[in-house]
Amino acid sequence: MLAIPAEEVATEDARAALPAEVPIEDAVANIAAASHLVLGIERSDLTLISRGLRDRLHQQRRAGVYPRSTELLSLADEAGAIGATVSGAGPSVLYWCFWQDTGKVVDALTGRVDDDVEIRRARFTPLGADVPEL
């Protein structure tokens, strides 16, 4: 499901917040996370998926560009999501959850955000995502 802040962020601004070089430790950590994510999805292992959502390359470096999104990321655990990631260059936040928990996560987030954030349930099919409203 998605949390979409009302304030837009230009892709150029989000890209400009990233450094030209990153520490090797951060790059390696993100490669490991991506591997966990792919393996977790393949195995339907929520623990591996959660590990795979850890980012050390862009989300914290862009926190000043989209502070509301950074705040929304921190709500993932208490909302009952597996984790959360900034979608693309932001500011939308994608909450990862087992399909059976989507309603619970939507309800938890709806109670935690103001009118400046739209909570949207993105339906998935075995063939992939289909979000015609976006």
For the segment 12-39, what is each residue's pLDDT rounded down to a tens digit? 988 999 999 999 999 999 999 999 999 9
Domain spans, the chain = 1-9+66-134
pTM: 0.83
d(CA 96, CA 89) in angstroms, rounded, equals 17
d(CA 124, CA 96) in angstroms, rounded, equals 12
Question: Could you tell me the CA-to-CA distances from 51 to 39, 46, 57, 61, 118 in Å, in that order?
Answer: 11, 9, 15, 19, 26
Question: Could you tell me the CA-to-CA distances from 57 to 15, 19, 91, 94 in Å, in that order?
Answer: 12, 9, 16, 17
* Fold type of domain 1-9+66-134: Alpha-Beta Plaits (3.30.70)
Residue with tokens 């103001």: 114
Q: Of residues 127 and 81, which shows the higher confidence score?
A: 81
